[in-house]
Amino acid sequence: MLSTTNVGVQNSGTQYLPSGDENPSPNQQLLPLTARVNNRDSLEIGGCDVTTLVQQFGSPLYIVDEETLRAACRQYRDAFTRYYSGESQVLYASKAWSCLAVCAIARQEGLGIDVVSGGELYTAVNAGVSPDKIYFHGNNKSRQELQMAVETGCTIVVDNWLELQTLAEMTQDNSNKPTRIMLRVTPGIECHTHEYIRTGHLDSKFGFDPNQLEEVFAYLSKHTFLNCIGLHAHIGSQIFERQPHQDLGGVMVDWLAKAATYGLTCSELNIGGGLGIRYTESDDPPSIDEWVKVVSESVANACQARQIDLPKLLSEPGRSLVGTACVTAYTIGSQKVIPEMRTYLAIDGGMSDNPRPITYGSVYRTVVANRMSAPLTETVTIAGKHCESGDILIKNATLPKTEPGDTLVVMATGAYNYSMASNYNRLPRPAAVLVSNGEPNLILQRETYQDLIRQDRLPERLI
Ligand code: LLP
């Protein structure tokens, strides 16, 4: 029987197995919480052998561990109950991975959903999420999306003047049923993450600038059919620091106090998402529990200092809920050895199923699922199959010796992989399976070639 812990094993894929702590924070692991090595030296997730899953469902394959996703949802929920004495609500930022099954799990765990488009709203509603737990964000919602949001009855997080005025015009006759809105504020808080995923600094395309806010409050005090229930801010993503969220509490509570002077009862405060996850051994994010403690205490202390009631505290994590729950399994194919330079090992997917390395320079770790204990003797660069030199998933990965047909698993791919996937080079997007207690359930069917041409139209004269 092979070891299922990482103690003393530093030379194989087993080093990435979960820590064995009693209640590990999913965002601090590399592999899902149920990851084990079975007696075939194969990686098992949710009680399913990963190589068998690939035989059954093909590759590339997103494999989602239900237990890890649910554990993350529960840890957020329980931590707010522990550290925040007011009401709280965790919303799943569905942009991280929007599909029916993932939204339904979030719903079952008592979470609400944050959506940023008509498509995400449609998905959340169809996953059975109650509109009073849906919050609609976005810096340029179309009229049609706003109409859809109003009709659905979700809360609209208003981002700018145009949107506010459009909504006012759209809903002025609904004064018997005021539309619930929140205001997104640019809080002017810097954090150290990739510039593309930073949003809280003043030079950001999102939200009202602080110096516009009083004018907005004054406007809302005269347009009471828009029911402004609170304020929102999100400062960025993949954040490991504690300080920015600590500062955010004080800044936002100040604005709540200011809104009250305009007669607005803003009883909800949404402090966004942003908690980072571990993609490599050197990543050291705070645990979910610690992050919740920081934001809860910061808001509670700020309220106490200003003598105002605790707002209902909302947060909207995405990456730290779903990121570690998923791995992507690929089949290893061709190899190109350039002597004294580099060995490229190609897999059957790439930038179309995981655009994060080429977009943000993101770094991932990998294991060979059917050789979990083999010694790591090779240094190779994992190349995707797209016609693009930059389509490299991992530079200088250390792997055991592999053969074509082996199963390569890239870890922590749950967040912003499927949701940003494309059909570049007309590759069908992968299937996804949800695994739990040895049972795989298909949650996304693999696209087919017919799917790829479904929206194509061939004008008569080209036939
Ligand atoms: N709330 C708002 C308003 C957001 O814009 C985001 C993420 C979240 C919540 C969730 O943040 P999280 O907890 O996932 O950090 N595509 C990029 C990430 C973009 C994040 C966009 N906004 C990536 O792959 O790293």
Query: CATH number, domain at 159?
Result: 3.20.20.10
> How many domains is the chain partitioned into structurally?
2
Domain that holds residue 30: 13-59+325-451
CB 436 within 8 A of CB 46: yes
Same domain, 81 and 37: no
Residue 237, ligand 1, Cβ within 6 A:
yes
**pLDDT at residue 196, rounded to an integer:** 58
Note the pLDDT tens digit of each residue in 330-383.
999 999 999 999 999 999 999 999 999 999 999 999 999 999 999 999 999 999
Contact 323 CB / ligand 1 (< 6 Å): no
Average pLDDT over residues 60-66: 99
User: Is 93 a pocket residue for ligand 1 (Cβ < 6 Å)?
Assistant: yes
Residue 318 CB less than 6 A away from ligand 1: yes
Q: How confident is the model at residue 162, as a pLDDT?
A: 97
Q: What is the pLDDT of residue 203?
A: 80
329 and 318, same domain (yes or no): no
DSSP letters spanning 381-402: EEE-SSS-TT-EEEEEEEE---
Q: Phi, psi at residue 64, to the nearest 5°?
A: -110, 125
**Of residues 439 and 200, which shows the higher confidence score?**
439
Q: Report pLDDT for 14.
A: 86
Residue 231 lies in a domain: yes
pLDDT digits (tens, 9 = 90+) for 192-213: 666 655 666 678 899 999 999 9
Structural domain contains residue 4: no
Write down the pLDDT at residue 9. 38
Question: Which residue's CA lies nearest to atom 1 of ligand 1?
Answer: 272
- Same domain for 131 and 41? no
Peptide bond into 244 cis (omega under 30): no
Q: What is the CATH number of the domain that holds 50?
A: 2.40.37.10
**Alpha-helical segments (H) within 109-240:** 118-126, 143-152, 161-171, 213-222
Mark whether 387 is an active-site residue. yes
- If asked whether residues 257 and 288 sit together in one domain, one would say yes
Cα(139) to ligand 1 centroid in Å equals 14
> What's the CA gap between 361 and 85, in Å, rounded?
40
Q: What is the pLDDT of residue 1?
A: 35
Q: Whose CA is nearest to atom 8 of ligand 1?
A: 273
236 C-alpha to center of ligand 1: Å? 7
Give the up-direction half-sphere exposure of residue 439: CA atoms within 13 A in the CB hemisphere: 4
Phi, psi (rounded to 5 degrees) for 425: 60, 20
Q: Are residues 179 and 288 in the same domain?
A: yes
Are 262 and 369 in a shared domain?
A: no
Residues 150 and 116 in one domain: yes
pLDDT score, position 132 = 97
Last residue of some domain: 322, 340, 364?
322
Q: Indicate if 41 and 129 belong to the same structural domain.
A: no
- Looking at the fold, whether 271 and 377 belong to one and the same domain comes out as no
What's the mean per-residue pLDDT of the chain?
Answer: 94
Terminal CA-CA length for the chain: 62
Which of 289, 322, 355 is at the close of a domain? 322
Q: Is the CB of 356 under 6 A from ligand 1?
A: yes
**pLDDT given for residue 173 in this prediction:** 86
404 pLDDT more than 60? yes
Q: At residue 4, does pLDDT exceed 60?
A: no
Which residue has the least CA distance to atom 4 on ligand 1? 234
Q: What pLDDT is stored for residue 394 in this prediction?
A: 98
Please list the residues that pair with 157 across neighbouring strands.
182
The Cα–Cα gap between 135 and 141 comes to 13
pTM (2 d.p.): 0.95
pLDDT of 274 above 60:
yes
The response to whether residue 363 sits with its C-beta less than 6 Å from ligand 1 reads: no
Domain's final residue, options 269, 291, 322: 322
Q: pLDDT at position 5, please? A: 39
What integer pLDDT is reported at residue 2 of this predicted model? 38
Instruction: State whether 47 and 132 are in the same domain.
Output: no
Pocket test for ligand 1, best of 183, 192, 206, 234 (most atoms within 8 A of CB): 234
Residues 152, 228, single domain; the answer is yes
Q: Is the pLDDT of residue 3 over 60?
A: no
- At 67-92, the pLDDT tens digits run 999 999 999 999 999 999 999 999 99
Residue 8 has pLDDT above 60, yes or no: no
Q: Does the residue 46 lie in any domain?
A: yes
pLDDT in tens, 87-136: 999 999 999 999 999 999 999 999 999 999 999 999 999 999 999 999 99
pLDDT digits (tens, 9 = 90+) for 131-184: 999 999 999 999 999 999 999 999 999 999 999 999 999 998 877 788 999 999
Q: Residue 260: is its pLDDT beyond 70?
A: yes
Residue 317 CA: nearest ligand 1 atom is: 13
Say whether pLDDT at 401 is over 50.
Answer: yes
Instruction: Tell me the mean pLDDT in the region 433-450.
Output: 98
For 231-253, the pLDDT digits (tens) are: 999 999 999 999 999 999 999 99
Task: Verify that 297 and 150 share a domain, yes or no.
Answer: yes
